[in-house]
Amino acid sequence: MSDKGSQPSKRRCISTACVACRKRKSKCDGNLPSCAACSSVYHTPCVYDPNSDHRRKGVYKKDTDTTRTRNTTLQTLIQAILNYEEADAFDLVRQIRACDDLEDVAASIAQEKGFMSADQVTKESANNENAAEIDQFESELAGKMSELMLDGSRKFIGGTSNLIFLPPDCELESSSISNRLALGTENQPHAVSRWTQVTDDDSLISHLMTMYFTWHYPFFTILSKNLFYRDYIRGISSSYCSALLVNAMLALGCHFSSWQGAFENPQDIATAGNHFFKEAKRLTLENDEHENAKLCTVQAFALMSVREAGCGREGKGWVYSGLSFRMAFDLGLNLDAANLGVHNLSDEEIDARRVTFWGCYLIDKCWSNYLGRQPQLTLTNANVPKFDVFPQEETELWSPYTDAGVGHENTQPSRTRAIALQICKLGEISSDVIVFFYHPTELEKSPSKQSELKKLSDVHTRLEAWKNNLPKELVAKEGQLPQVLVMHMLYQLQIIHLYRPFLKYTKANTPLPSHVSPRKICTQAAATVSKLLRVYKRGYGLKQICNIAVYIAHTACTIHILNLPDKNAQRDVVHGLKNLEEMAEGWLCARRTLRILDISANKWQIELPPEATSILERTHSKWGSWGSWDQATSPSTSDDSPIATMLHQPTTPNRFHPSAPPLPHEPHPAYPIPMAGTPMGPQFAPPTMPMPPPPLAYQFPHLAASSSPRPSPWYDTTGAQNPPPNTTTTPIESPVSGYDGTENLVGESQDWWSRNASAYGIGLDQWNGAWNAPSQDQPPLIQYNNGGLLSVARPSTSGAEQPRAQAEMSTGSPFDPNDTPGYADRWE
């Protein structure tokens, strides 16, 4: 018996262990206040928390049912006391105090509800009606979150504004803008010339409008072309067309033309479009356009901002962009109209709103890149879907249109909206690049290297995915649409912006793996920009190019200067300066870019190649200095601009040469002769018309297209032509393809750059001869032999490059697969 008494008692089973034993997954004896394991073995606090043990829910099922029943009983009794008449309530209280079981009282109350008198039913119905009225008011008050109101135009009113309770047909302002819309009677003769007071020459207006829609609109797609032309042809001012918008378009179209009417002062090419821009400013002030939000006013201010940037007046352009973006928010363009309960918007209006917002979004990203500022339009406060792609508009044929007429060599489907969608997607990535790596608050603090590497990996993965998912029709190639080539330049610009912040690191403190060189990646991207510009120049000339290309070329030239005296960099710097010189014939900002590059090279004490120095000296002598870096004066509405530069006359004819002589400008007020069955749209005129066609023949369901004479000859014997279409290339992998995360980046072999140096455009010997094909009339300015720099000839006095001789053009693809990563594998 003594032995049995000395044995320890058997450990009993407990339903809930202490928290510490559950974490340790050890046995717990359930002793209070502390179990044996916590007090004797682990010496840890012992806490029992049954509510945190969810493994034995069945233990509490009975208690839960009992509690639920009790709550139901009490709820029934309390509701009865509150709702009964005064005398009945006292009787119920006495009944509750005398009862043995509250559930019996609650059951009798529930039974009585089924046998209410008619008077009680009437009273209860009246009470329910009053409650319904209160509920309706509360529901309406809570539901008024946002709404589009009609105030001469659609305007967005948010939930915190009391203006949302105005009647649906009430206008926010007493004055109606409808009286200011009509220009005159519909379909008047010469309705086109009524849009501007600058000129009454229909042929000039049509010529400049066609210039705009050929070269500028396809990249900055900010409006519905069909809706615009519908009202433009009729001479009706509406939400889709106004005199302000037309004059803004004409001012931009002037930058692509050499006609005398394109210049405010024909002797000064720096005044291109100034007269139409002055008219736009006059209309803005006289008609209070900045106070009345309309869709076409949003578009006009956005285009005016782009034009001011091209003229080197960033301060004024930034203000115009701000007016456009604030007005877009006023109209609620950033929100999906389908989710705002608006049922009276037509499909075409919804489409026009979406195109306008995403056009503003792209322009905002261009401004952010150009000025290094944070984006103003972000997707955090927008939910509008992207616009649709209409097959009828996409299949319309695009042809290069210049002062010489319509060209047919590169005629192809326009694919305007499909390209615009891809550019918008690229703009979304660009926004993140600026926010992640160039935000002012991020620059003040030092983020962890792991965080920087993760952001770099994420953004680069998205950029690679964007490029790899491009349709095969939108790859970079000879003869490609100009807006596609500029789009690929914008892609390479994002690569430079993504890796440029990492140039500050050395090999010792870089967060990147040792085999990844930001400098080499930036060099590769800048070299690709130079090649794309040469493709553009051979196909269309740099007179006809959007001004965003000036900024991209400037960025690429900065990388080239950084790499001097490398032979590749010497060649690219010379080509880059020549390209900028040609762009400067149409865009004043390119002149300042040349001065900035000159000053930067001197500041960094970098010796430029002799030919580059000659280009800078020649352009400085031709256009002068920008002074103390005061910005160019915006064209005044009253003062005349001084004559600064004489019109440069060409020395060598070229199909798309920026200084090609303008055609004799004779007014031709006659309209195009309709011809059915041709899909060429506004770019063809009847054979009897010797002038370029007006865009009045833009094809609508109710309008016929037109035809135009083929220029003879389309290009001279020295003009560049496309290589044979059957050329093939050997695909290679992009140097950073497969870079879809930190693991893949680190997993690359250590000889990443050395295993195929030619694939990254580092070796000079991999450049295709087509890029530097000599001219029949004059030897090239830079001569190469098997990749070696032999000599540098003095440049000619003309700012233009000599045209390539067709007989000596390489028959291979202009993009060597060994020097253009990421393009050859998709080359058609």
Of these ranges, 237-241, 335-339, 795-799, the one predicted with the greatest mean pLDDT is 237-241
Taking residues 142-169, report their average pLDDT. 55
Higher pLDDT among residues 484 and 783, named by residue: 484
pLDDT of residue 306 exceeding 80, the answer is: yes
Taking residues 365-391, report their average pLDDT. 92
Other beta carbons within 10 angstroms of residue 59's beta carbon come to 12
pLDDT of residue 358 exceeding 70, the answer is: yes
pLDDT of residue 120 exceeding 60, the answer is: no
Rounded to whole angstroms, the Cα distance separating 21 from 26 reads 5
**Side chain identity at 212, as an amino acid letter?**
Y
Share of the chain above pLDDT 70, in %: 61
3-state DSSP assignment of residue 269: helix
Rounded to whole angstroms, the Cα distance separating 769 from 783 reads 11
Among positive and negative, which fits the CA dihedral 463, 469, 474, 478? positive
pLDDT of residue 112 exceeding 50, the answer is: yes
Higher pLDDT among residues 768 and 68, named by residue: 68
Cα 98 from chain centre: 78
pLDDT of residue 754 exceeding 80, the answer is: no
Q: 83-92, 323-332, 419-428: lowest mean pLDDT where?
A: 83-92
User: Which residue's entry shows tokens 């693809």?
Assistant: 813
**Confidence band for 636, pLDDT divided at 50, 70 and 90:** low
Rounded to whole angstroms, the Cα distance separating 414 from 225 reads 13
Rounded to whole angstroms, the Cα distance separating 654 from 650 reads 9
Domain boundaries, the chain: 2-55, 60-143, 184-388
Residue-wise burial string across 17-40, b where 16 or more C-beta atoms lie within 10 A, e elsewhere: bbbbbeebeeebebeeebbbbbee
**Confidence band for 724, pLDDT divided at 50, 70 and 90:** very low
Q: What is the DSSP letter of 662?
A: P
User: Which residue's entry shows tokens 């994002």?
Assistant: 494
Q: 49-58, 76-85, 93-102: lowest mean pLDDT where?
A: 49-58
Higher pLDDT among residues 100 and 1, named by residue: 100
Q: Which two tokens stand for residue 303?
A: 């285009």
> Helices 518-539 & 567-583, crossing angle to 10 degrees?
40
Cα 759 from chain centre: 30
Taking residues 438-444, report their average pLDDT. 76
Instruction: Give the pLDDT score at 30.
Output: 84
Instruction: Give the pLDDT score at 506.
Output: 83
Rounded to whole angstroms, the Cα distance separating 239 from 292 reads 11
pLDDT of residue 13 exceeding 90, the answer is: no
Range list of H helices, 500-633: 518-539, 548-562, 567-583, 588-603, 610-623
The CA–CA distances, whole Å, from 465 to 385, 679, 736, 739 equal 21, 34, 11, 10
Instruction: Give the pLDDT score at 160.
Output: 64
Q: Which two tokens stand for residue 293?
A: 């939000």
What mean pLDDT is reported for the chain? Answer: 73
pLDDT of residue 343 exceeding 90, the answer is: no
Model confidence pTM above 0.75: no
Residues 6+ apart with CB under 8 A from 653: 660, 716, 718
Residues 6+ apart with CB under 8 A from 288: none
Burial of 631 (0-12, 13-18, 19+ CB in 10 A): middle
Q: Which two tokens stand for residue 340?
A: 């705002």
Instruction: Give the pLDDT score at 408.
Output: 87
Instruction: Give the pLDDT score at 68.
Output: 78
Higher pLDDT among residues 553 and 804, named by residue: 553
3-state DSSP assignment of residue 401: strand
Query: 2-55 is classed in which CATH architecture?
Result: Irregular (4.10)
CB 409 within 8 A of CB 222: no
Rounded to whole angstroms, the Cα distance separating 349 from 471 reads 28
* pLDDT per residue as tens digits for the range 60-72: 555 676 787 788 8
pLDDT of residue 756 exceeding 90, the answer is: no
DSSP assignments along 114-167, one per residue? GG--HHHHHHHHHHHHHHHHHHHHHHHHHH-SEEEEESSSEEEEETT-GGGGS-
Cα 364 from chain centre: 7
Other beta carbons within 10 angstroms of residue 254's beta carbon come to 28
* pLDDT per residue as tens digits for the range 792-803: 333 333 334 334
Instruction: Give the pLDDT score at 416.
Output: 95
Instruction: Give the pLDDT score at 715.
Output: 30
CB 44 within 8 A of CB 55: no
**Confidence band for 538, pLDDT divided at 50, 70 and 90:** very high
pLDDT of residue 544 exceeding 90, the answer is: yes
**3-state helix/strand/coil string of 477-532:** CCCCCHHHHHHHHHHHHHHHHHHHHHHHCCCCCCCCCCCCCHHHHHHHHHHHHHHH
* pLDDT per residue as tens digits for the range 639-648: 444 434 334 4
Rounded to whole angstroms, the Cα distance separating 299 from 327 reads 10
pLDDT of residue 161 exceeding 70, the answer is: no
Cα 500 from chain centre: 21
Of these ranges, 86-95, 269-278, 628-637, the one predicted with the greatest mean pLDDT is 269-278
**Confidence band for 142, pLDDT divided at 50, 70 and 90:** low
For residue 236, what are the β-bridge partners? 182
Rounded to whole angstroms, the Cα distance separating 500 from 521 reads 9
Taking residues 285-292, report their average pLDDT. 89
Instruction: Give the pLDDT score at 211.
Output: 97
